[in-house]
Amino acid sequence: PVLVVDCGAQYAQLIARRVREARLYSEIVPHSMSAADMLAKNPAAIILSGGPSSVYEDGAPHVDSAIYDTGVPVFGICYGFQLMAKALGGTVAKTGLREYGRTTASIADAGATLAGSPAEQTVWMSHGDSVHEAPAGFTVLAKTDGAPVAAFENTERRMAGVQWHPEVRHTPLGQAALENFLYTVAGLTPDWTSASVIDEQVALIRAQVGSAQVICGLSGGVDSAVAAALVQKAVGDQLTCVFVDHGLLRSGEAEQVERDFVAATGVRLVVANERDRFLDALADVTDPETKRKIIGREFIRAFEAEARKLVHDAGLGEEVKFLVQGTLYPDVVESGGGEGAANIKSHHNVGGLPDDLKFDLVEPLRALFKDEVRAVGLELGLPEEIVWRQPFPGPGLGIRIIGAVNQERIDILQAADAIAREELTKAGLDRDIWQCPVVLLADVRSVGVQGDGRTYGHPIVLRPVSSEDAMTADWSRVPYEVLAHISNRITNEVPEVNRVVLDVTSKPPGTIEWE
Ligand code: XMP
């Protein structure tokens, strides 16, 4: 892999994604890892990420400088660039000045790393100190007002670095620089594709599972669907999928799991219609956290009951040893830098099964980012509607009905949500919008006039957001005509709703979901 050494800022995941966009497999490792441990991973190249603003700061992260003597190509970014400059004998000046945001870099000598760059390029900066002298043997490629040495390389040693952030979109030629380094300076061949991921995972799953039986909980979302499809491809009819229908999915989604997913993959699917169980448990509950806990608890109970039936009644017996989970790479990284146990989301990742139902986990998506999961799903032949499904919370519409949940309210919200989804799709906005929760303010009423009569109905909130990772988000600027169309249709076609409002709050301070 290409190792991305996390020097403590938020950039390591983004760098790892950009490397994969260059069709090379990447992994994130902590800066505290020794050069020997890095070498044990057989790295194709090492990239040092950005970090704090100064290498002279107390407690500033350091990287084992033995990596520069291993012969592995090294690329330094921002703070990583300064670390590298300092370790190799250049000078890093403690300027106390900051250069932040959009900056113009003047290219003195494009070299291999900046090949194809015009004489000046726009780059995104975020640094305090700056490199004043490049290490011996390194060619200075660029400078900015705040950084006399803003990029350098030594092609013989296969090392290079830039002071700016090539991984952010604000540096338009950033990906080109990264690819120049990977392909030309480091000499790597891009060969990491969805097809290679599938081949590799299929082999790993077969090795792990052997002839044992495997179960998988399907949620309707893309992660569990792709994970199940991979396992199905690997071990075929040793897999049984369980779909707990809690009645809180959007209109048509349960049918899509039952029909389209099975048609695309041929999996054996057990559907448990548990709608009444969830409605009963949620009756009169209005507190958001209580709702979440109840839905999570009932989900595990329902799944457990199905798993028990499979293990004890359906003749699969003790052979069911494995449970598939759709854990993704960001979960893995966030729970300890890729080395630790997976952080199990409390809801549909079925973390809380009782002790006498112990399964080993099969997690074929552990190394993948969301967009890669989608690419793998398409390659496996899953329908676009499943692969491109926008994120949907495990507790479903239960946390989009503000107030107590009952069947009548679910019906209202499903109808309004279906209209919003249909119109956003028709306007071609699905890929621009991260997701668009549609929320029913079930305990709020307002006066309206429809036809000749006064109405006293409920508001629907549209919450379209754009985001890269759901950690932060901005409200999407959906064209007014599209909003007008959605509003018209909802108020005309859903009689209980007489008002449609738009949520124009970013995250933070607002979360994406209302509860
Ligand atoms: P918030 O509301 O925290 O949501 O800004 C961030 C993202 O997570 C989704 N979400 C969930 N996903 N189980 C899930 O699998 C949950 O309980 C859950 N709650 C929120 C939400 O839709 C958004 O994409």
Identify the CATH number of the domain in which residue 461 sits. 3.30.300.10
Task: Let me know whether 109 and 220 are in one domain.
Answer: no
Radius of gyration of the chain (CA): 26
Of the residues 7, 31, 78, 348, which is catalytic? Answer: 78
The predicted-structure confidence for 138-176, as pLDDT tens digits, reads as follows 999 999 999 999 999 999 999 999 999 999 989 999 999
Q: What pLDDT is stored for residue 292 in this prediction? A: 93
83 in a structural domain: yes
Which run of H or E residues covers position 271? strand 268-273
Residue range 188-224, pLDDT digits in tens: 999 999 999 999 999 999 999 999 999 999 988 899 9
Per-residue pLDDT at 300? 87
**Residue 176 CB contacts under 8 Å (≥ 6 apart), including other chains:** 116, 117
One domain, residues 362 and 426? no
One-letter amino acid of 471: M
Q: In what order do the strands lie in the sheet with 213-218?
A: 268-273, 239-245, 213-218, 320-324, 360-362
431 pLDDT more than 90: no
Pairing of strands 139-144, 99-107: antiparallel
Residue 409 has which token pair?
């309210």
Q: Say if strands 474-475 and 2-6 run parallel, antiparallel, or are unpaired.
A: unpaired
- The predicted-structure confidence for 450-506, as pLDDT tens digits, reads as follows 878 899 999 999 999 999 778 889 999 999 999 999 999 999 999 999 999 999 999
Q: Is residue 342 part of a domain?
A: yes
Please state which of the ranges 171-185, 306-320, 379-393, 435-449 shows the lowest mean pLDDT.
306-320
Residues 84 and 138 in one domain: yes
Please give the mean pLDDT across all residues of the chain: 91
**CA–CA separation, 376 and 365 (whole Å):** 10
Choosing from 165, 347, 348, 485, the catalytic residue is 165
Note whether 427 and 376 are same-domain residues: no
In terms of domains, do 89 and 200 share one? Answer: no
Residue 419 CA, ligand 1 centroid: distance in Å: 22
* Position 445 pLDDT exceeds 70: yes
Q: Is residue 242 part of a domain?
A: yes
Ligand 1 pocket, residue 507 CB under 6 Å: yes
Confidence of residue 362 (pLDDT cuts 50, 70, 90): very high
pLDDT at site 204: 96
Strands 453-462 and 438-441: antiparallel
* 394 falls within a domain: no
DSSP symbol at 51: -
φ and ψ of 232, to 5 deg: -60, -45
Cβ-contact 223, 373 below 8 angstroms: yes
Residue 336: pLDDT band (50, 70, 90) is: low
170 lies in some domain: yes
Identify the domain boundary among 185, 207, 228: 185
Question: Which amino acid type is present at position 267?
Answer: V
Of 250, 271, 284, 278, which Cα lies nearest the Cα of 347? Answer: 278
- Token pair for 435: 């997701």
Q: Which atom of ligand 1 is nearest to the CA of 394?
A: 13
Query: Do 348 and 453 belong to one domain?
Result: no
Instruction: Based on the fold, state whether residues 269 and 339 are members of the same structural domain.
Output: yes
Residue 480 and residue 422 share a domain: yes
Instruction: Provide the Cα torsion 283, 284, 287, 292; round to 10°.
Output: 0
Most confident segment among 51-55, 218-222, 261-265, 404-408: 404-408
Residue 272 forms beta bridges with which residues?
244
Alpha helices (H) along 283-433:
288-308, 329-334, 370-379, 384-387, 407-426
Nearest atom of ligand 1 to the alpha carbon of 507: 5
449 annotated ligand binder = no
How many CB atoms within 10 Å of residue 68? Answer: 18
CB atoms within 10 A of CB 30: 18
Is 511 near ligand 1, meaning CB less than 6 Å away?
A: yes
Ligand 1 mean position, distance from CA 374 (Å): 18
State which residues form the domain around 465: 406-502
Residue 318 pLDDT = 66
Q: What is the pLDDT of residue 340?
A: 30
The region, left, alpha or beta by phi > 0 then psi within -120 to 50, assigned to residue 470 is left
Give the pLDDT of residue 97: 79
> Binning pLDDT at 50, 70 and 90, where does residue 337 land?
very low
CB 512 near ligand 1, within 6 Å: yes
Mark whether 254 and 381 lie in a shared domain: yes
Identify whether residues 142 and 248 lie together within a single domain. Answer: no
Question: How confident is the model at residue 514, as a pLDDT?
Answer: 97
Distance 346 CA to ligand 1 centre (A): 11
Q: How far apart are CA 325 and CA 394, in angstroms?
A: 14
Domain boundary among 158, 185, 212: 185
Domain count, the chain: 3
pLDDT more than 70, % of the chain: 95
Provide the CA 88 distance to its chain's centre, in angstroms: 36
Tell me the CATH number at 325. 3.40.50.620
Backbone angles phi, psi at 56, to 5 degrees: -95, -5
Out of 153, 185, 217, pick the residue that ends a domain. Answer: 185
Q: Given a cut of 90, is residue 57 above it in pLDDT?
A: no
Q: Ligand 1: which residue has its CA nearest to atom 3?
A: 511
7 carries an active-site annotation: no
* Residue among 187, 267, 280 at smallest CA distance from 228: 267
pLDDT in the model for residue 338: 41
Q: Is 166 in the pocket of ligand 1 (CB under 6 A)?
A: no
Give domain status of residue 511, yes or no.
no
Judge if 365 and 229 occupy the same domain: yes
Asked whether residue 242 carries a pLDDT value surpassing 80, the answer given is yes
Q: Does 397 reside within a domain?
A: no
For residue range 264-294, what is the model confidence (pLDDT) as tens digits? 999 999 999 999 999 999 999 999 999 999 9
pTM over 0.95: no
| pLDDT exceeds cutoff 80 at 349 | no
CATH no. for residue 35?
3.40.50.880
Give the SS3 label for residue 251. Answer: coil
User: Is 225 labelled as part of a ligand binding site?
Assistant: yes
Instruction: Specify whether 241 is catalytic.
Output: no
Is there an atom of ligand 1 within 6 Å of 433 CB? Answer: no
Those residues with Cβ within 8 angstroms of residue 384's Cβ, 6 or more apart along the chain or in another chain: 378
Say if 392 falls within a structural domain.
no
Residues 368, 240, single domain; the answer is yes
